[in-house]
Amino acid sequence: MSERLSYLGRLREHRNRRGLTQMELAKLSDVGRATIADLEAGKRGAYKETVKKLAKALKVKPHELRTAKED
């Protein structure tokens, strides 16, 4: 069974609020910079564990990274 993916439409907004580059967020979250770029562009969805890592690094709750548009 595959895990549902989340689309993180507010990821860039939260990253910019913290004054972080994609590379800096990648280092803080242990998520690849290319993955972060794809997530911000809406090219892919994120697994639950990835959402948790990004939210922790950005000091927000996981649901705050998502858009209202969940499939």
> How many folded domains does the chain comprise?
1
pTM of the model: 0.87
Instruction: Give the CA radius of gyration of the chain.
Output: 11
Question: What domain range is 16 assigned to?
Answer: 11-60
Confidence check: pLDDT of 5 > 90: no
* Secondary structure (3-state) at 18: coil
Q: Is residue 43, in this structure, part of any structural domain at all? A: yes
Residue 53 to residue 49: CA distance in whole angstroms: 6
Q: Average pLDDT of 2-18? A: 84
pLDDT digits (tens, 9 = 90+) for 37-59: 999 998 988 999 999 999 999 99
The count of residues in the chain is: 71
The CATH number that applies at residue 18 is 1.10.260.40
